[in-house]
Amino acid sequence: MDVYAGVLEVLDDVLSLQGRARRLAPDAALLGSVPELDSMAVASVIAALEERYGFVVDDDEIDGATFATVGSLADFVKAKLNA
């Protein structure tokens, strides 16, 4: 499965979106637009990505821009996997 689809799956799962995440385009806004995305959910999304892909995320690797859109989050995961 490609990384983008994997990120959508994590978002759909953690945010309990019942399949709605699958319709999100890469430029779909996340932070500030998806009401389910509170601080607990942001932390859970990061934890779910860590567990799924087996990497560890440091504080200084993420900021608001990482969670700006579905595409920016997928780009972050790709960069971590290629690191």
Binding residues for another protein, rule: CB under 8 A, are 1, 6, 9-10, 12-16, 31-32, 36-44, 46-48, 50-54, 56, 58-60, 62-64, 67
Closer CB to another protein, 28 or 57, in the complex: 57
The two most distant CA atoms of the chain are separated, in Å, by 32
What are all long-range contacts of 47-50, with beta carbons under 8 Å and residues at least 24 apart? 48/10, 48/13, 48/14, 49/7, 49/10, 49/77
d(CA 33, CA 70): 11
Closer CB to another protein, 25 or 54, in the complex: 54
Closer CB to another protein, 17 or 28, in the complex: 17
**In the complex, minimum distance from the CB of residue 56 to another protein, in angstroms, rounded to a whole number:** 6
**In the complex, minimum distance from the CB of residue 3 to another protein, in angstroms, rounded to a whole number:** 13
